[in-house]
Amino acid sequence: MSVVSLLAELADVGASRAGGYDRLAWTRADSKCREWFVAQSESRGLDVEVDRNGNLWAWLNPSLPGSALVVGSHLDSVPRGGAFDGPLGIASAFAALDLLADFAPTRPIAIVAFADEEGARFGVACAGSRLLTGALAADTFRSLTDADGVTTAEAMSNAGQSPDHVGADLERVARIGEFIELHVEQGHLRTSAGVDGLTPDAPLGLATEIWPHGRWRVDLIGQQNHAGTTRLADRVDPMLDLARVILEVRNAAEASGILATVGRVRVSPGAVNAIPGSASAWIDARGSDEDRVVSVMGDIGRGAVLESWTPTTPFDSAFVADVGKAIGGDLPLLPSGAGHDAGVLALAGIPTAMILVRNPSGISHAPEEFAEDGDCERGVVALAAAMRSRTA
């Protein structure tokens, strides 16, 4: 089945009326994507299992000796996310396996769908892969709640996944010899050839590293009161501080050459006619220079609560070179400003590579995210070549 047809099977799953996809972790839409994963796996005779952290694994020849080559990505999205971020990597893995139907691998191969990569609901990115490797403590994970106060444990249970044993699964990590994640390009970062993003002549690229990435929360306290009867002089309005934080984040980012964003705010009680009693803002900061990200956030992050931090994550250059050689052609090398499960596995010491597929829109985490059918097919051929070379 082609990768385009595989993706088309998810076209209606979690489609948002406002455009894009709402497939937040452990919601109905996420569950339907997981059902699709299981159906695609079983139709190929793969052994499907769900690990203690809710990550889905589909195994080909699990009893073969040696560590596995694992390929995959994630199924969850940000609110109104694009169609490709995550699912393209998984659909490509199934389609690549179909291209290898006549091939007898010498080691196990697994396709993985990591749970809750976006962290869009509970705030911590790559929760499934971080729990797996021990980068996210079970207690910290259990303490997370979504905007409605639903805990991670409740959300998992409601989705039919036991939360009772979440936590590091190092035996499983030891079974992963190498990991390759195919992913849609998510912006036009400069390639090693000095070009801004992949081009029609270079529809595929390889990631060299993942930029450092931090998420902070700022809580601002005011005095809830009546909008129509409280004099301005008597107000304690957290929205003024919120406005200051948002502008300060942007100014500091511009001044220092990092990328910092306030993409989420929460105002209580959120009534048109009530001065808020409190407001929270979430800051996402990243950039090519880790020290600069840390120092900028040190300045503006006073009183901010660090919710997650991932250092600069270089990929194993020898492994990336081998994958590039297997694919053939002189693939451009480019950094990833976006975080990925591949980064978590790389930090756990697993040789990891990412194949990036051109996104002419240069937009991601939005309905406009896009990849041409032809480029998606090229990505599958490349992934299949890499898989063949790593399991011959």
Question: Footprint of ligand HGY on this chain (CB under 6 A)?
Answer: 117-118, 125, 338-339
C-beta of 85 vs 169, nearer to Mn ion:
85
**Per-residue binder mask for Mn ion (CB under 5 A), 59-98, x = binder:** --------------------------xx------------
Length of the chain: 392
Residue type, 255: A
Rounded to whole angstroms, how far apart are CA atoms 193 and 208?
A: 13
In the block, which residue shows the tokens 């036991």? 162
30 binds Mn ion (CB under 5 A): no
- Closest separation between CB of residue 69 and ligand HGY, Å? 23
- Residue found under tokens 């929205």: 239
Q: Tell me if residue 113 falls in helix, strand or coil.
A: strand
With CB atoms as reference, the residue minimizing the distance to Mn ion is 85
**Cα–Cα separations (whole angstroms), residue 144 to 4, 49, 65, 163:** 36, 25, 39, 13
Distance in Å, CB of 29 to ligand HGY, minimum = 17
Q: How far is the CB of 117 from ligand HGY (least distance, A)?
A: 6
Q: What is the closest distance, in whole angstroms, from the C-beta atom of residue 312 to ligand HGY in the complex? A: 14
| CB closer to Mn ion, 69 vs 125 | 125
Nearby residues of 83 by Cβ (< 8 Å), 6 or more positions away = 7, 10, 11, 20, 21, 369
- For residues 113 and 93, what is the distance between their CA atoms, to the nearest angstrom? 10
Shortest distance, CB of residue 118 to ligand HGY, whole angstroms?
A: 5
- The β-bridge partners of 138 are none
Rounded CA-CA distance 191/171 in Å is 36
User: Looking at beta carbons only, is 21 or 319 nearer to Mn ion?
Assistant: 21
Q: Which is nearer to ligand HGY, 127 or 327 (CB)?
A: 127
DSSP 20: S
Neighbours of 255 (CB within 10 A): 10
125 binds, among Mn ion, ligand HGY, none (CB under 5 to 8 A by kind): ligand HGY
Choose among ligand HGY, Mn ion, none what residue 339 binds, the Cβ cut-off being 5 to 8 Å by kind. ligand HGY
Nearest-approach distance from CB 339 to ligand HGY, in angstroms: 4
Q: From the list ligand HGY, Mn ion, none, pick the one residue 307 interacts with, judged by a Cβ distance below 5 to 8 Å according to partner type.
A: none
